[in-house]
Every structure is written in C-alpha cells, then in structure tokens.
Amino acid sequence: MSWSAEEEASLIEFKERGLSTKEIAEEMSLLYKKEFSYWSVQKKIPRLKPQAQPSIPIAYKETHEIASDGSHKSDKLLQMTAAQQKNPEYLLKAHGFETQSWELVTAKNNIWNSYSKQDGVMTLYASKITVKPKQISFNWETAIKRIEAIPQKFIEPEYIRVTDYLNLPLFDMHFGISDYEYYLPTQRRIAGLIEQGYKGVLFIIGQDMLHNDNFKGTTANGTPIDKVDMEKAWEDAMLFYIPLIELALKRCQHVKIMYSKGNHDESMSWAFVKALKIRFPQADVDSSFRERKAHMLGNNFIGVNHGDKKKEDKLTENFSTEFLFEWAKAKTREIFTGHLHTERVIDKGGVVQRRMPTANKIDGYHDDHGYTTAHKRFEVLEYSEDAVMRIHYV
C-alpha cells in the first residue's frame, strides 16, 4: 500500500496524539474515504522518517490578543496538512489552548511559503484563530426528550411489620393543671398503637406526671407553686394509665413500667407506681428510687433522667459508666430527659439525646415567664430489634 505525503503527515499527527493503532486506522479511513487496515498502519509506523522542523521566517511576527469580552486572538505560523487546518481540536492545540477549556470561534489559514537549504520551499500557513472560554450550557429540548424517554416503572408495595417495641416517654404531664378529658385524644392514639401488639412496651411514669408533690401546693423541694386538686389529679392519672396498661398486657408479650423521678412530684409519682405494681402483678414494674435508669428494648438502650440536675449533654458519661452491660450490648443508644417542656434532639458521640416535649396546658409559672411558645404534644417511639423505626406525635 502506497502512502502520500499528506497521509503520512496525518499518521504522524494521530500517533503524536496518543491514538492506538486500531484508532489510527479508523480515523485515517474516515478522513481519506478509503480503507486503512490495522496491519497497514502497524507496518507503516516504524518506517516513518522523523519530520525536520521547518525554518520559520524571522520576518513573521506572531501575536496574541485578549479582548474585553474574554475572547483570545492568536496568530501563528504553522506547518500542517489540509486535514489538520480543518480540525478545530488540532488548531486549538497548535495555538496552545486546552481543548477542554476553550472553543474555536473563527479560524483563517493563509499559505506562507518558506525556503531553507535543508527543506527547500516549504508550504506553511499563517494561522489566525479566535477562541473563547467554554461555557456549560443546558439544552432544555434534549433534557425534556430524555425525561420523556424514561420508561414507566410500577412499584408493588410490600407491607412488612418492622417494629417490635414501643416506648412511651410521656414526660411533664402535670395532672392537676391538665385533666383526663384534655389528654383523652392522646390516650386514644396510644391505644391505637398498642392494639397492634409488640414484643415489649415501656411505660415511663413520673417525670412530673403530677403537678404537686403533696396537698400543700409545693414541689418535691418545697417550692410553692399553683396548688391543684391532688385527689382529682390522681384519679385522672389512673383513668389515663390503667386502660393503656390493661390493653398492653393483653396485646403485648412484655410490659415494663418504670418509675422516673421528677422535680415536682418525686413522692407522689413514686406512690402512684407502687399502686400500679399492686394492681398489675403480671407486669414488670421498677419502682426503685434512682436518679438515672435504663432499660433495653431489644438492642436499643433507653436511658431516663428528668434533666433538672446535671446538664443533659453531660449525662452520657453517667449512663455509660452506671449501665456497662446494657451500654456495651446496645446497637442504638438513646437518653430521654424532660423538665424544660421543649423538644430538642442532639445526635453526638454515638448517642441520641432526646429532650421530650409535653402537651401540658400552660400553668401560672410558665405564663408569667413567657414560656408559652413550645408546641403542645407528646412523642412516642417504635423500635425494631436494633434501631428507631418510627416517631409518633400524640
């Protein structure tokens, strides 16, 4: 197979651009409209003679201009083939522009003959190009066509029960300020959850369930506050909890009732849980008088503290130290506090600290101090064996 000088020049160009032998054969075939086989290119490459650099006339003055609109104009004397002068990528590289960053706007190539003793008369080109920075453009028509071409997919839903445990941290209920009728919607929503049945249900009772700690209208520390009807407060609390516990004992495998200290009703809530322990001997009742408590729902660590003494963000060190076995076994660790009547969640250091909101009515203290803006709701949580799955506002 015979090769013309122009074909050899193109071969050299493709080789210098790093194309493989197969790619060169394909490009040559497209460029010259005839077949260049892999083997013809393979045999020709070793026989190519290195091209001598032409003698560039000293009289030619190369220039480079930058316009105010960001475009560049370059004027250079180049040796190139007829195919190369039609190739925008080649012209950009020959003038020193990266093809990824620049695009060719205009190009004008004029023949410029040069003479050297080595090469004789050489045909060069005075190449003038204008380029501009590439801009990322968005073609709406193409995008719409691609979107329209996306095939329809129909998903058949699969309903799987993934919750095994229910946690009921109803903190700061303040019976006496709020009554049973007020909390009836909450009771009904919780009953709807319990009706589904669980491996385990945790009732956390205390945490300022009652507004006063005695019949004198004071807190556990003797601080005078709004005096409420404690007999009615007890009755309302019984009306709220007893039906839920009875339902849980029917529908769930394990029912845990945990007393948790508050700052309003330490003694009264403790006595309330003691009464529940007598009423429901089949339930697992923890009425111990401890500041911090923990319970495992599957592999989920549930830590409980009112939050009125030690700062919430420091409680992790206590629970990890006081409940070593449970802490080590857990795949999810959560600490629940109350007291401030506002919701807050901090996910830090492998522990989720949840300050529980309350649906309690606004009492005199909170009204006087302007603590009236928090959302009124309780939060209950469903767990799988290893993680929180759902959070319900009730």
How many domains does the chain fold into?
A: 3
Same domain (yes/no): 172, 190: yes
Q: Is the pLDDT of residue 120 over 80?
A: no
Tell me, yes or no, whether 160 lies in a domain. Answer: no
83 and 184: one domain?
no
pLDDT higher for 14 or 322?
322
Q: 334 and 305 in one domain?
A: yes
- pLDDT grade, residue 33 (50/70/90)? confident
Same domain, 73 and 125: yes
Predicted local confidence at residue 49, as pLDDT = 64
Which residues constitute the domain of residue 309? Answer: 165-393
Q: What pLDDT sits at residue 220?
A: 94
Same domain flag for 70 and 17: no
Residues 123 and 38 in one domain: no
Beta-bridge partner residues of 116: 120
318: closest CA among 297, 342, 301? 301
Same domain for 37 and 58, yes or no, is no
Considering the domain architecture, whether residues 121 and 192 belong to the same structural domain is answered as no
User: Residue 379 pLDDT > 80, yes or no?
Assistant: yes
- Alpha-carbon distance of 286 to 284, in angstroms, equals 7
CATH for 205: 3.60.21.10
Amino acid at site 31: L
Question: Do both 189 and 309 map to the same domain?
Answer: yes
34 shares its domain with 56:
no
What is the structure's pLDDT at 143? 85
pLDDT of 53 reads: 47
pLDDT tens, residue by residue, 238-291: 999 999 999 999 999 999 999 999 999 999 999 999 999 999 999 999 999 999
User: 245 with 203: CB under 8 angstroms?
Assistant: yes
Nearest to 130 by CA among 91, 62, 73, 86: 73
247 with 198, same domain: the answer is: yes
Residue 392, classed as helix, strand or coil, is strand
Same structural domain, 186 and 78 = no
Region of poorest pLDDT, from 4-13, 89-98, 295-304, 320-329: 4-13
pLDDT at position 117 over 70: no
